[in-house]
């Protein structure tokens, strides 16, 4: 009959301190990365940690620091839209990549209009140390109100009238839309239509402004402006309606590549050739822009990099560092066959 070996006691902070011949406080400083430890003591503690296979109690450390070591990425959209939109996936990927080099974990919160208060309660409950907010709508005032209580960084301009403690990472959407529209005008097109984005979102409103300015500066008047929701289905439906209403246009700017993708499908179904009869451009360079027929000319933004910057700024804010309220990212013109 074999005898079981006695189970080794789990290494504790006290055991590490005893093995290293230092105080418990010194071990705690080493574990927490403090630079207020002499080199010799630090080396002894690190050796004791290895010998005892000591694993720091992260929960206890977080409690002592008053932190959860977790941040939320809040997306006030339904699940179907979140998983269908490649923009969200890229931002999440960028944020996760940055946080991989830190002690912070990323928690995804999909907050629908059915119960926004539930998300607000969670954010207020000490569950996270800060929040990243994407796809912000004008009626999402609850998040703006949290700005004074919880460090937050927004991906895209907010529609809040209270700009205190609001930090934003975005492209210049007005300039991007203007550039995309000018490409159409430079092709000699004069009857311009636009499929705009939601007007309760900063990107949707600003891209409409950029289109209008480019058209006005060229001495033209838009023949049609209709707002969609940034999805391919809305672009397809709006374009079908424009064709049904016999609107004459030879240029189209879509506020997102997804809506441009849907619009191109509707144009093809109606036998309207692109770019021969209609020149089409959009903002965003994603899988929809690359796989459309013909491929879309777009103004590319870089959502993965946006996610990285948002996470970096948020961690700095959590640590009490000063960061800029506005971080404007570069864009890039991607010429394809649609214009």
Q: What is the pLDDT of residues 286-310, one digit of tens each?
A: 999 999 999 999 999 999 999 999 9
Higher pLDDT, 238 or 64: 238
Q: How confident is the model at residue 59 (pLDDT cuts 50, 70, 90)?
A: very low
Q: Three-state SS for 5?
A: coil
**Topology (CATH level 3) of domain 70-171+303-330:** Rossmann fold (3.40.50)
DSSP H helices, the chain, are 13-20, 24-31, 39-52, 58-65, 79-84, 86-99, 116-124, 141-146, 173-186, 202-217, 232-244, 257-269, 287-291, 303-318
**Class of domain 173-300 as given by CATH:** alpha beta
Same fold, 70-171+303-330 and 173-300: yes
Q: What is the DSSP letter of 146?
A: H
Domain residue spans in the chain? 13-56, 70-171+303-330, 173-300
What integer pLDDT is reported at residue 145 of this predicted model?
A: 66
Which residue in this structure is represented by tokens 């002690």?
103
Which residue in this structure is represented by tokens 């954010």?
123
3-state SS track over 10-56 = CCCHHHHHHHHCCCHHHHHHHHCCCCCCCHHHHHHHHHHHHHHCCCC
Q: What is the pLDDT of residues 146-181, one digit of tens each?
A: 777 789 999 988 876 555 568 999 999 999 999 999
29 pLDDT above the threshold of 80: no
Q: What is the pLDDT of residues 251-279, one digit of tens each?
A: 999 999 999 999 999 999 999 999 999 99
CATH architecture of 13-56: Orthogonal Bundle (1.10)
Q: How confident is the model at residue 140 (pLDDT cuts 50, 70, 90)?
A: low
Note if the bond before 117 is cis, omega within 30 degrees. Answer: no
What integer pLDDT is reported at residue 312 of this predicted model?
A: 95
Write down the mean pLDDT value for the chain: 87
Contact 333, 178 (CB under 8 A): no
What integer pLDDT is reported at residue 5 of this predicted model?
A: 44
Q: Mean pLDDT over residues 64-81, rounded?
A: 79
What integer pLDDT is reported at residue 7 of this predicted model?
A: 45
Q: What is the pLDDT of residues 195-245, one digit of tens each?
A: 999 998 999 999 999 999 999 999 999 999 999 999 999 999 999 999 999
Neighbour-count burial for 18-40, b at 16+ CB within 10 Å, e otherwise? ebbebeeebbbbbbeeeeebeee
CA 172 to chain centre: 15
Q: Three-state SS for 125?
A: coil
What integer pLDDT is reported at residue 4 of this predicted model?
A: 44
Q: What are phi and psi of 226, to 5 degrees?
A: -130, 140
- What are the residues whose beta carbons fall under 8 Å from the beta carbon of 270, sequence distance 6 or more? 240, 243
């Amino acid at each position: 009959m074999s005898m079981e070996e006695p189970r080794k006691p789990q290494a504790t902070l006290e055991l590490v301190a005893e093995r290293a011949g230092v105080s418990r406080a010194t071990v705690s400083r080493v574990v927490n990365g403090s630079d207020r430890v002499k080199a010799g003591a630090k080396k002894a503690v690190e050796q004791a940690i290895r010998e005892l296979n000591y694993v720091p109690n992260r929960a206890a450390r977080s409690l002592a620091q008053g932190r959860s070591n977790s941040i939320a990425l809040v997306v006030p959209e339904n699940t179907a839209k979140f998983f269908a939109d490649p923009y969200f996936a890229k931002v999440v990927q960028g944020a996760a990549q940055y946080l991989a080099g830190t002690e912070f974990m990323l928690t995804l919160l999909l907050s629908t209009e059915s119960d926004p208060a539930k998300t607000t309660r969670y954010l207020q409950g000490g569950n996270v140390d800060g929040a990243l907010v994407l796809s912000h709508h004008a009626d999402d005032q609850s998040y703006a109100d949290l700005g004074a209580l919880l460090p937050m960084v927004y991906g895209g301009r907010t529609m809040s009238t209270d700009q205190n403690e609001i930090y934003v990472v975005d492209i210049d959407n007005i300039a991007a839309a203007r550039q995309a529209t000018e490409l159409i005008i430079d092709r000699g097109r004069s009857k311009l239509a636009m499929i705009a984005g939601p007007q309760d979102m900063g990107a949707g409103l600003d891209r409409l402004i950029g289109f209008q300015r480019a058209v006005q500066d060229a001495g033209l008047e838009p023949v049609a402006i209709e707002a969609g929701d940034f999805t391919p289905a809305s672009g397809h439906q709006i374009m079908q309606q424009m064709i049904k209403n016999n609107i004459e246009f030879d240029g189209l700017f879509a506020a997102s590549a997804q809506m441009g993708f849907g619009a191109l499908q509707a144009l093809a179904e109606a036998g309207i050739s692109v770019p021969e009869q209609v020149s089409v451009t959009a903002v965003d360079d994603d899988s929809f822009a690359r796989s459309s027929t013909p491929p879309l000319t777009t103004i590319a933004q870089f959502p993965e990099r946006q996610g990285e910057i948002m996470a970096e700024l948020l961690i700095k804010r959590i640590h009490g560092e000063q960061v800029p309220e506005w971080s404007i990212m570069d864009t890039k013109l991607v010429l394809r066959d649609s214009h």
